[in-house]
Amino acid sequence: MKIEQIYTGCLSQGAYLIQSDGEAAIIDPLRDVSPYVKKAAENNLKITHIFETHFHADFVSGHMTLAEKTGAPIVFGPNANPSFDAHIAQDGEEFKLGKITIKALHTPGHTMESTSYLLLDEEGKEHALFTGDTLFLGDVGRPDLAQKAAGISMEDLAGYAFDSLRNKIMPLPDHVIIYPAHGAGSSCGKNMMKETVDTLGNQKKMNYALREDMTKEEFIKEVTHGLAPPPAYFPMNVKLNKEGYQSIDTVLQNGLKPLTPKEFELVANETDAVMLDVRTKFDFATGHIPQSIFIGLDGSFAPWVGQLLVDINTPILLISSNGREEEALTRLSRVGFDNIMGYLDGGIEAWEESGKEMDNVTSISASELEMNFDLGKSKIFDVRRQSEHVSEHILKSHNTPLSELNNHISSFPGEEDFFLHCVSGYRSMIAASILKAKGYHNLIDIQGGYKAIKETKIPKSDYVCPSTL
C-alpha cells in the first residue's frame, strides 16, 4: 500500500494516488490528468477507481477525462446528481482496491454531497481519511458555497457539517492520517494550516472546529463568521464539474495558435478579447502592450484569473515568455477558462520589433518612496487583503483589496499621482495593469511591496481593530 499526495501550489489543491497490489485509485484529480496516467504506467498500475469528494467550485476536476482514458468508474457520494455516468455510493459502502478497502463516509456540510473516504489497510484497520473540503488542517470547509444550489441556508449547512464531524470523523482513532483537498491559500476555507498532512489526534488539539466542548450553535457562529465573498467564477466551475466539459486536449489544440503581431492586434480589436500577459512582474513593468492585463504565471495565477476575469467564457489572447504557452493554457483550463484565441508568436519582442505601441509601469523603490513621503499628502493604496492591512500598514494609507478592485475603480485619483503596493509586488502589478487599462496612468508601483516598506522609516501603524478603520 502506498499513498501519494500530488499537490498543486497555485490552487493549494491536493489530489491523491493510492495503490495496492497493482491497482490504483485517484481522489480529486485535476483536469490535466496526464500526471496520474503517467505515474500509473511507470508503476505498472491499473487505475480502477476515481473518487470525487464533492462537486468542486475552485477548479475543474479531471474525473471525466480520466474515466475516458482509463475506463475506471467515477464515484461520488450520496446526493450527487451528475449529468454523466457515475457510481453514487451509499453511506458506508466499501470499495476493494488490491488488498485494501476504501469506505465512503457521507459527510455533508460544505456541500450536501460531500463525502470523505476512509482507507482501511490490509488488516482492516483505519489508516487514513481523505476529507475533501469537509475537514482541512486547522479549519473546515466554508458552508456558503453551495447554499443556493442546495436550497438551504449556510447556517443549516454549517449544522450538517457539525454533525458530520462529530458523528463520522471525530470518533475515528487519533492515529488516522488526515489528507485534505486544500491547504493554506485556498478560498474554500478561512484559516488553514500551511501543512498538508496531519493526524486526526493533532487536529483535535489544533483545529478550533473540533473542540469537544463546542455546541452546535457556537460552531455555526464561528464557521459562518468573517467569510469573504466567494470568487464569482466558483458557480461556473461547479456547473462544469457536474454537467461536463471538453477535453483538455481539445482546449490545448484550439488555444495553442501562434499569431503574428498583426493577427494578434486584429483579433484583439474584433473580439474585445482580454490580452493576458503572464510574464514576470518585472518584464510587464518594463514594457507591455497597452490595455493588456498582467497576471503572472509565477504566482497564484489561476485563482486570480478566476477572481478578476470572472466569466469563464471570456475570450483571451496570451502574451507569455517563449515556451510557457502550454503551461499557461493548462493552468487556465484548471479553472474553466477555455476560450483562448491564440498567443503572440515571438512574444513581446516580436510586438516591439514590429513597431507597435508599447507601455510601461512607473515603479520606484521603497527607499525612494521614503525620501518623498509626506504623511497626509502622499496617496498610498494598499491592495492586500483587509486582514493584512489591519495587522500593519502605512499610516493614512487606503486599503482596496485586489479582489474588490473592479468595484472601487472610482476611488483612485484621476489626475494626482498615487502609489500602489501589496506585500511583495505581484498583486500591486496586477492592480496597476487593471487601472492602466481603465485609463489611470498616474500610478506608481512600489517595488518589493510592504516587505521592502517595513525596512524604511515610513510611518506605520500596528494592529488596529477593524471597527476603528
Cβ atoms < 10 Å from Cβ of 291: 15
Choosing from 176, 205, 236, the residue where a domain stops is 236
* In-domain check, residue 218: yes
361, 436 Cβ separation under 8 angstroms: yes
Lowest mean pLDDT among 158-162, 188-192, 239-243: 188-192
How many percent of the chain have pLDDT more than 70? 98
108 & 182 share domain: yes
Q: Is residue 46 located within the same domain as residue 125?
A: yes
Q: What is the CATH number of the domain that holds 412?
A: 3.40.250.10
Query: pLDDT tens across 8-36, in order?
Result: 988 999 999 999 999 999 999 999 999 99
Task: Name the average pLDDT for the chain.
Answer: 94
Residue 250 has a CB neighbour count (10 Å cut-off) of 12
User: Where is the domain boundary, 211, 236, 261?
Assistant: 236
Residue 241 included in any domain: no
pLDDT band at 277 (very low <50, low <70, confident <90, very high): very high
3-state DSSP helix/strand/coil % of the chain, to nearest 5:
35, 20, 45
What is the pLDDT, as a whole number, of residue 466?
Answer: 45
Same domain, 263 and 230: no
Task: Return the pLDDT at 124.
Answer: 97
Domain boundary among 301, 324, 353: 353
Same domain, 250 and 225: no
Looking at the structure, tell me whether residues 189 and 296 fall in a common domain.
no
**What's the domain count of the chain?**
3
286 and 230 in a single domain? The answer is no
Decide if 321 is inside a domain.
Answer: yes
Using 50, 70 and 90 to split pLDDT, how confident is the model at 465? very low
Question: pLDDT tens digit string along 337-364?
Answer: 999 999 999 999 999 999 999 999 999 9
* Residue 358 forms part of a structural domain: no
Residue 99 and residue 208 share a domain? yes
DSSP 435: H
pLDDT tens track for 177-215? 999 999 988 887 777 888 999 999 999 999 999 999 999
At 165, list the grid cell.
464531524
Using DSSP, state whether 407 is helix, strand or coil.
Answer: helix
Inform me whether the pLDDT recorded for 141 exceeds 80. yes
Residue 467: the pLDDT is 38
pLDDT at 297 over 90: yes
- pLDDT for res 65: 96
Residue 38 lies in a domain: yes
Collapsed DSSP state (helix, strand, coil) of residue 161: helix
Mean pLDDT of 106-127: 97
Residues 35 and 181 in one domain: yes
Q: Assess if residue 307 is contained within a domain.
A: yes
Residue 138: inside a domain: yes
Residue 14 lies in a domain: yes
Q: Which residues pair with 115 in a beta bridge?
A: 106
3-state SS assignment for residue 176: coil
Q: What is the pLDDT of residue 229?
A: 83
Nearest to 210 by CA among 180, 253, 167, 241: 167
Average pLDDT value for residue range 118-124: 97
337 and 273 in one domain? yes
Q: Which domain holds residue 436?
A: 363-468
Rounded CA-CA distance 142/126 in Å is 26
**Do 172 and 200 sit in the same domain of this protein?**
yes
- Is 95 in the same domain as 21? yes
DSSP bridge pairs for 51: 27, 75
> Out of 36-45, 159-168, 453-462, which region has the weakest mean confidence (pLDDT)?
453-462
Q: Tell me the pairing of strands 393-394 and 316-319.
A: unpaired
Residue 150 in this model has a pLDDT that exceeds 80 = no
| C-alpha triplet 60, 61, 63: angle, nearest 5° | 145
The answer, yes or no, to whether residue 464 has pLDDT greater than 80, is no
User: What is the arrangement of strands in the sheet containing 293-294, beginning at the earlier edge strand?
Assistant: 258-259, 340-344, 316-319, 274-277, 293-294
CATH number of the domain residue 162 falls in: 3.60.15.10
Q: In this structure, are 381 and 440 located in the same domain?
A: yes
